[in-house]
């Protein structure tokens, strides 16, 4: 398709090898295996209702994993992304319930705050040239402290609640946290947001200039800069994208539960990274895929609910997580090595 004259040195760069060098291959294989495993354990798991059930946790995780994947392809980490979902939710519910804001206005305030945090993360990373692991670990701890401190000071408890009574709640809920009936099965609307985010991110990565720049700044920032790529701007926008995703997920969860715990989102940041890595992202940047991160999130959703369907103790989830991470990274590495080897 791409070569006009066949070159004798291209020893069958055929469809199989093209497929193998796709970063998401490992996650696809993993997802099929996990699906087969839990389907064998429980018929409910593979029913339409079961699918709708495990796609739900996959959706909010998936939105975050896709954003984190973009950031990781751009060569950076964001450890503050999980706790930021809590921060945006807390801000929204607090403004709507204690200060009488309209839910939409409260959501907008959450977005502005999230963008500010993302911008600050990005600016600090590109200006100080410190590893983003450290910078965002700092933001993570600061936000964690703020979430608890402010919530306690305002309410005397560790949660804010009562969003149901706020003005504009019903409309916002149906847009972000309601469900849609497809063929008699109720699917959470967040699932469609997640699919939309994945499609958009994939388009940006593969079919826009910005996507080229993301791969480039993650692959070799100096080289990218030398040919005129706006590396600093690209990275700052990536951090702001992650923050926007955190706002979206924070809002979805707040609208669904109508209350937010002050410690919500903590510990999730590593799950996002794990999903992105299972989906083929390199920890060193410059390589990965948005679809892969989404499939990584599906694996998590299936394991999360599958363990319940199979009637096991939920404690096994963590064990499963770790095993998946190791297997997927090993598979990814083998596949990539094989692909590079035969291409030489």
Partner 1 sequence: MTPPLLEARDVGKVFGSVIALRGVSLLVRAGEVTCVLGDNGAGKSTLIKILSGVHGQDTGEYLLDGVPVRLGGPREALDRGIATVYQDLAMIPLMSVWRNFFLGSEPVTGPLRRLDVARAKRVARDELRDMGIDIRDVDQPVGTLSGGERQSVAIARAVYFGARVLILDEPTSALGVKQAGVVLRYIARARDRGLGVVFITHNPHHAFPVGDRFLLLNRGTSLGQFDKADITRDELTSLMAGGAELDQLAHELDRDGPDRDAAPGAATGP
Rounded to an integer, what distance in angstroms lies between the CA atom of residue 316 and that of residue 38? 14
Among 47, 155, 220, 263, binds partner 1 (CB under 8 A): 220
Helices (H), 129-230: 132-155, 169-176, 189-207, 209-219, 221-226
CB 230 to partner 1: min, Å? 9
The site string for partner 1 over 64-93 (x = CB under 8 A, - otherwise) reads: ------------------------------
Contact of 112 with 229, CB cutoff 8 Å = no
Residue 24 tokens read as 């998401």
CA pair distance 113, 119, nearest whole angstrom? 10
Q: Is 155 left (phi over 0), alpha (psi -120 to 50) or beta?
A: alpha
Q: What's the sign of the alpha-carbon dihedral 138, 71, 272, 86?
A: positive
Does 16 participate in binding partner 1 (rule CB under 8 A)?
no
Q: Which stretch binds partner 1 (CB under 8 A): 39-47, 130-138, 209-217, 323-331?
A: 209-217
CB 20 within 8 A of CB 339: yes
User: Interface with partner 1 includes 219 (CB under 8 A)?
Assistant: yes
Is residue 250 involved in binding partner 1 (CB under 8 A)? no
Contacts of 168 (CB under 8 A, 6+ apart): 102, 103, 104
Are residues 71 and 78 in contact, defined by beta-carbon separation less than 8 angstroms? yes
Sequence-separated (6 or more) residues with CB below 8 Å from residue 322: none
Q: Which stretch binds partner 1 (CB under 8 A): 57-65, 103-111, 222-230, 247-255?
A: 222-230
Interacting positions 167-206 with partner 1 (CB under 8 A): 206
Closest to partner 1 by CB, 156 vs 228, is 228
* Cα–Cα distance, 163 to 199 (Å, whole number): 31
Q: Which of 287, 310, 325, 331 binds partner 1 (CB under 8 A)?
A: 287
- Residue 339: CB minimum distance to partner 1, A: 9
**Tokens in use for 307?**
């363990």
252 closest CA partner among 189, 186, 167: 189
SS3 261: strand
* Among the listed residues 212, 233, 263, 331, the single contact to partner 1 using CB under 8 A: 212
Contacts of partner 1 in 131-150 (CB under 8 A): none
Identify the residue whose tokens are 């469809």.
15
Interface segment toward partner 1; rule CB under 8 A; list 8-16, 99-107, 147-155, 257-265: 8-16
Of 215, 247, 272, 309, which lies in the binding site for partner 1, with binding defined by CB under 8 A? 215
Q: Which helix (H) or strand (E) holds 293?
A: helix 290-309
| Residue 279 makes contact with partner 1 by CB under 8 A | no
The CA radius of gyration of the chain, in Å to the nearest whole number, is 21
The answer to the question of residue 277 lying near partner 1 (CB under 8 A) is no
Region near partner 1 per CB under 8 A, out of 28-36, 101-109, 194-202, 221-229? 221-229
Min dist CB 14 to partner 1, Å, is 12
Task: Give the span between the Cα atoms of 63 and 275, in whole angstroms.
Answer: 11
Residues linked to residue 181 through DSSP beta bridges, in sequence order: 186
Of 197, 224, 238, 303, the one binding partner 1 (CB under 8 A) is: 224
- Mask 321-340, x = binds partner 1 (CB under 8 A)? -------------------x
CB of 233 to partner 1, least distance (A): 13
Any contact of residue 216 with partner 1 (CB under 8 A)?
Answer: yes
By CB under 8 A, name the one of 42, 104, 105, 225 that touches partner 1.
225
Binding residues for partner 1, per CB under 8 A? 2-4, 7, 9-10, 13, 206-209, 211-213, 215-216, 219-220, 222-229, 286-287, 340, 343-344
């Amino acid at each position: 398709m791409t070569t006009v004259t066949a070159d004798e040195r291209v020893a069958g760069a055929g469809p199989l090898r093209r497929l193998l060098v796709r970063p998401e291959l490992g996650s696809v294989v993993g997802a099929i295996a996990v699906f087969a495993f839990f389907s064998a354990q429980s018929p409910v798991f593979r029913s339409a209702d079961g699918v709708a059930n495990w796609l739900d946790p996959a959706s909010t995780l998936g939105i975050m994993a896709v954003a984190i994947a973009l950031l990781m392809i751009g060569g950076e980490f964001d450890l503050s992304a999980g706790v930021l979902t809590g921060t945006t939710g807390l801000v929204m519910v607090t403004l709507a319930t204690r200060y009488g804001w309209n839910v939409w206005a409260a959501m907008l305030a959450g977005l502005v705050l999230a963008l500010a945090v993302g911008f600050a993360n990005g600016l600090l990373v590109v200006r100080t040239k410190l590893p983003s692991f450290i910078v965002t670990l700092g933001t993570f701890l600061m936000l964690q402290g703020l979430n608890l401190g402010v919530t306690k000071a305002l309410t005397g408890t560790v949660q804010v609640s009562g969003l149901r009574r706020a003005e504009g709640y019903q409309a916002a809920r149906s847009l972000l946290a309601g469900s849609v009936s497809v063929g008699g099965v109720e699917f959470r609307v967040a699932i469609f947001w997640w699919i939309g985010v994945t499609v958009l991110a994939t388009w940006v990565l593969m079919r826009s200039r910005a996507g080229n720049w993301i791969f480039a700044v993650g692959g070799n920032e100096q080289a990218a800069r030398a040919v005129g790529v706006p590396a600093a701007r690209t990275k700052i926008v990536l951090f702001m994208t992650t923050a926007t995703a955190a706002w979206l997920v924070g809002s979805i969860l707040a609208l669904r539960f109508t209350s937010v715990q002050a410690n919500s989102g903590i510990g999730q940041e590593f799950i996002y990274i794990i999903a992105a890595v299972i989906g083929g992202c390199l920890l060193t940047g410059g390589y990965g895929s948005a679809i892969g991160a989404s499939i990584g999130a599906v694996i998590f959703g299936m394991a999360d609910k599958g363990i319940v369907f199979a009637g096991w103790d939920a404690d096994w989830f963590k064990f499963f997580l770790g095993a998946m991470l190791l297997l997927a990274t090993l598979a990814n590495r083998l596949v990539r090595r094989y692909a590079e080897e035969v291409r030489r």
